[in-house]
DNA sequence: CGTCGACCTCC
DNA sequence: GAGGTCGAC
């Protein structure tokens, strides 16, 4: 039976990609709620489906290791593609020890020559490794002290370039929901409607369902049975609308459209409001400056940046969405969506333990530098904002920066 | 342009 | 109530 790969057991079967930990942290990047398809199947080992293949990823200091499974030993249906069959049985042999390692090496090389470059490119593309995260962190932190201190702990948080179909339909599921439940829903969605790829240790790995399958009339009832609630209809109707009024690759084509245009196009789909549209733009359509504003991001803007947009309001109106988004775009620039994900990640409950370290670092810093530094910080931030205002020909009136950067804020207790 | 209730299910 | 959207005031 196929088993989840472990680097320590069969490292010769793994392939390596040079990638320092500062450029990518798998735990944060795969666990921050931008994708719902990866699980930690071993210590620091993440297994999931991407590009129609099943992968296990792990990393050491300067290396991203990846293992691509093949369908040999698959106990599922015969509908699995034959792609990669030349690598059959490599996983099992690797995991059984060192006895036949020599032969496996040769086999591994053969496999590598056929698939390695494609799969490596797939991985580079998915993690967008051509974009230098360290440089971006420096830019964002240069005029934003809050960011800099959070970022000193939350390194390597990067945006994935996801498949637009998977991204859209996953985020339609996200309304009124938290990450763990969305994960369960997406898992059931794929298990029920997506083609099976292979089975590892009794876990079935499926690809994401196609638009054609999602658009079927029976899908709503099916998904309601699976606990999707009112989102079941949104999913089916959105798929239907895309196929009827547009085309199967309409979503992909939105990669070539300007941000505003793509955003408005997505909003014509049922179940897609501003927040979901921004998520899809940022996470699958290359809109680097799309900032998805939800209640958490709103809290961050108010609590950590003294942003007063929507103060005294109960709900997130379109106007507040726009103002918060503009606020962060002014602050961070063209990669604002990427920067936002770092703070968003740091606000998640499951990463609070890490954040306490950040708070400690910050406390020491405040202690050693004193209040003067804090004051000049907020000045620096305002300078930066007005610079951007000037550059874009906008008035300072648009900015909602009220109070200076608060240095003694409490660690957030709630949230996912 | 902003508020309100409803929509599903889970904790 | 929840990381939201929709339709009606």
Residue nearest to nucleotide B2 (CA to C1'): A317
Residue whose token pair is 């020890």 = A97
Contact by Cβ (8 Å): A332, A282: no
pLDDT at residue number A394? 37
Contact by Cβ (8 Å): A56, A30: no
**Spatial distance from the CA of A33 to the C1' of B11 (Å):** 19
Residue A349 approaches strand B within 7 Å at CB: no
What is the spatial distance between Cα A208 and Cα A212, in angstroms, rounded to a whole number? 12
Cα-only R_g, chain A = 23
**Spatial distance from the CA of A231 to the C1' of B7 (Å):** 9
Whole-number Cα distances in Å, A62 to A65, A215, A243, A285, A322: 10, 44, 44, 29, 39
Residue nearest to nucleotide C3 (CA to C1'): A294
pLDDT at residue number A416? 41
Residue nearest to nucleotide B7 (CA to C1'): A230
Question: Nearest to residue A79, comparing CAs of A190, A166, A212, A194?
Answer: A194
Residue A398, pLDDT > 70, answer no
Residue A188 approaches strand B within 7 Å at CB: no
Question: Nearest to residue A73, comparing CAs of A92, A53, A56?
Answer: A92
Residue A399, pLDDT > 80, answer no
What is the spatial distance between Cα A91 and Cα A104, in angstroms, rounded to a whole number? 10
Contact by Cβ (8 Å): A332, A145: no
Q: What average pLDDT is seen over chain A?
A: 83
pLDDT at residue number A92? 40
**Spatial distance from the CA of A171 to the C1' of C2 (Å):** 15
Q: Identify the weakest region by mean pLDDT among A7-11, A197-201, A248-252.
A: A7-11
Residue whose token pair is 């207790």 = A413
What is the spatial distance between Cα A394 and Cα A398, in angstroms, rounded to a whole number? 7
The model's pLDDT over A53-106, given as tens digits with 9 standing for 90+, comes to 999 999 999 999 999 999 764 444 333 333 333 333 334 433 333 333 334 444
A273: the nucleotide nearest its CA (via C1') is C5
**Spatial distance from the CA of A398 to the C1' of B9 (Å):** 40
Residue A318 approaches strand B within 7 Å at CB: yes
Residues with CB under 7 A from strand C: A 32-33, 174-179, 230, 267, 269-277, 292, 294-296, 315-316, 344, 348, 415-416
Q: A288-359 sits in which CATH class?
A: mainly alpha
pLDDT at residue number A188? 98
* Chain B footprint positions (protein CB, under 7 Å): 1-4, 7-10
Q: Identify the weakest region by mean pLDDT among A60-74, A146-160, A375-389.
A: A375-389
A414: the nucleotide nearest its CA (via C1') is C2
**Spatial distance from the CA of A276 to the C1' of C9 (Å):** 25
* Chain C footprint positions (protein CB, under 7 Å): 2-6
Residue A229 approaches strand B within 7 Å at CB: yes
A269: the nucleotide nearest its CA (via C1') is C5
**Spatial distance from the CA of A225 to the C1' of B11 (Å):** 20
Q: Is A210 exposed, middle or buried (0-12, 13-18, 19+ CB in 10 A)?
A: middle
Contact by Cβ (8 Å): A283, A164: no
Q: What residues of A are labeled active site?
A: 275
Residue A230, C-beta contacts closer than 8 angstroms, at least 6 positions apart: none
**Spatial distance from the CA of A49 to the C1' of B7 (Å):** 31
Q: What is the pTM assigned to this prediction?
A: 0.84
A180: the nucleotide nearest its CA (via C1') is B10
Residue nearest to nucleotide C6 (CA to C1'): A271
What is the spatial distance between Cα A48 and Cα A35, in angstroms, rounded to a whole number? 10
Whole-number Cα distances in Å, A117 to A47, A113, A122: 20, 8, 8
Helix (H) or strand (E) holding A200: strand A196-200
Buried b (16+ CB within 10 A) or exposed e, A214-249: bbeeebbebbeebebeebbbbbbbbbbebeeebeee
A229: the nucleotide nearest its CA (via C1') is B8
Task: Annotate A17-51 with DSSP letters as a single string.
Answer: EE--TTT--HHHHHHSSS-S--EEEETTEEEEEET
The model's pLDDT over A31-50, given as tens digits with 9 standing for 90+, comes to 999 999 999 999 999 999 99
């Amino acid at each position: 039976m196929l088993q989840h790969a472990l680097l320590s057991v069969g490292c010769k079967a793994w392939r390596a990609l040079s990638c320092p930990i500062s450029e990518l942290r798998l735990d944060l990047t795969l666990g921050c709620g931008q994708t719902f398809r990866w699980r930690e199947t071993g210590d620091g080992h993440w297994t999931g489906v991407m590009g129609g293949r099943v992968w296990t990823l792990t990393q050491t200091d300067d290396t991203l290791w990846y293992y691509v499974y093949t369908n040999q030993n698959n106990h599922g249906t015969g509908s699995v593609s034959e792609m990669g069959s030349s690598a059959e049985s490599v996983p099992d042999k690797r995991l059984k020890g060192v006895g036949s390692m020599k032969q496996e090496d040769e086999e591994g090389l053969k496999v590598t020559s056929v698939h390695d470059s494609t799969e490596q490119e797939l991985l580079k593309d998915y993690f967008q490794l051509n974009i230098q995260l360290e440089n971006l962190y420096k830019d964002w932190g240069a005029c934003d002290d809050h960011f800099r201190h959070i970022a000193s702990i939350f390194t390597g948080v990067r945006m994935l370039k996801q498949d637009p179909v998977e991204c859209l339909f996953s985020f339609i599921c996200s309304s009124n929901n938290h990450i763990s439940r969305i994960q369960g829903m997406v898992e059931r969605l794929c298990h029920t409607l997506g083609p099976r790829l292979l089975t590892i240790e009794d876990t079935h790995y499926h690809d994401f369902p196609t638009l054609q399958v999602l658009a079927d009339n029976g899908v709503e009832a099916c998904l309601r049975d699976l606990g999707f609630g009112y989102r079941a209809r949104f999913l089916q109707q959105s798929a239907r609308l895309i196929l009827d009024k547009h085309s199967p690759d309409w979503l992909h084509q939105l990669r070539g459209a300007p941000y505003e245009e793509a955003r408005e196009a997505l909003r014509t789909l049922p179940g897609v409001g501003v927040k979901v549209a921004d998520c899809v733009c940022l996470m699958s359509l290359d809109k680097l400056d799309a900032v998805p504003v939800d209640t958490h991001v709103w809290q961050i803007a108010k609590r950590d940046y003294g942003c007063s947009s929507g103060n005294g309001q109960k709900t997130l109106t379109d106007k507040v969405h726009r103002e918060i988004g503009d606020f962060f775009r002014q602050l961070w620039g063209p990669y604002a969506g990427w920067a936002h994900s770092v703070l968003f990640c740091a606000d998640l409950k499951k990463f609070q333990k890490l954040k306490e370290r950040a708070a400690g670092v910050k406390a020491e810093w405040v202690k050693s530098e004193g209040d003067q530094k804090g004051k000049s910080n907020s000045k620096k931030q305002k300078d930066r904002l007005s610079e951007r205002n000037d550059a874009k020909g906008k008035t300072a009136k648009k900015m909602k920066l009220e109070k200076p950067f608060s240095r003694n804020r409490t660690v957030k207790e709630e949230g996912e």
